[in-house]
Amino acid sequence: MATMNAPTMDRRTGPERRSVLREGGRSAMSALDYLAMALLIVGGLNWAMVGLFEVDMVATIFGPGSPAARLIYVLVGLAALYSIYTTAKLAGAKRHR
């Protein structure tokens, strides 16, 4: 005979919570995720400035065509590629549930 207070599945271990929190309560985003997000924000704001005011802030700060400006552009591009990879990985994980 089953008792009225039979143990049930703990809500904190449901799949919807596991996608948000890792073990120990840490965020599911890694330091690389935060870095990519910051670079994409910088790149997006720079493109907004180019489109609205014809001012390239990266080139203004570091000099047009300078190695530092080129490095920033490359890092923003790599962050975009990483974000595409992460998005595809998340979409695939959601499809297989």
pLDDT at 1 over 50: yes
- Residue count (the chain): 97
3-class DSSP state for residue 56?
Answer: coil
- pLDDT at residue 94, rounded to an integer: 79
Model confidence pLDDT, tens digit, residues 43-86 = 999 999 999 999 999 999 999 999 999 999 999 999 999 999 99
CB 79 within 8 A of CB 43: yes
Task: Record the pTM.
Answer: 0.69
CB 45 within 8 A of CB 88: no
